[in-house]
Amino acid sequence: MLKEFKEFAMRGSLLDLAIGIVLGAAFGRIISSFVGDVLMPPIGLLFGDLDFANLFIPLRGGPYPSVAAAKAAAAPTINYGIFLLTVIDFVIVAFVMFLLVRQINKLQRRPEVTPTSKPCPYCLSIVPLMAVRCPHCTSTLEAA
């Protein structure tokens, strides 16, 4: 049983998946930092010193100055600012993944298409490539 588990764990596709998950998690943290620390502060400045991480609706209790203060008071809140930051993170990650997949698809070689048919020079019907007589107009064709 241990031998089977070792073979399963060392399979190439499983290792590729593990590497992809680790790199994806690291990439997600980089994007979250980019959104929270680089992108949103200037956008918040444009909206009059708005901190998106502190946009929330308290469901019980008085007004709280921040999400941390509401959590310290054990008040339930709807944190729509944090949700907005998470949505922006997702959109950026999805767009980057789209660009990456698009470039990889461009780099992959397309298999050459070998023709299996040809047009008849007399009636312009499509005939098999190896045909020596057109089935439509019965003209004699050159061999391929």
Q: Tell me which of 7-16, 87-96, 129-138 is least confident.
A: 7-16
d(CA 77, CA 74) in angstroms, rounded, equals 9
Write out pLDDT tens, residues 76-112: 999 999 999 889 888 888 888 898 889 988 888 778 8
Domains of the chain from N-terminus onward: 14-108 (1.10.1200.120), 113-144 (no CATH)
How confident is residue 18, by pLDDT bands cut at 50, 70 and 90?
confident
CB 127 within 8 A of CB 134: yes
How far apart (Å, rounded) are the C-alpha atoms in residues 22 and 45? Answer: 34
Contacts of 141 (CB under 8 A, 6+ apart): 120, 121, 127, 131, 132, 133, 134
Instruction: Identify the H or E element spanning 101.
Output: helix 80-107
| pLDDT tens digit sequence for 36-54 | 888 888 988 888 888 888 8
Predicted local confidence at residue 106, as pLDDT: 86
The predicted model gives 67-72 an average pLDDT of 90
Provide the pLDDT for residue 56.
93
Which alpha helices (DSSP H) does 11-79 contain, by range?
Answer: 12-33, 40-46, 67-72
pLDDT at 13: 75
Q: Does the pLDDT value for residue 117 go beyond 80?
A: yes
* pTM exceeds cut of 0.85: no
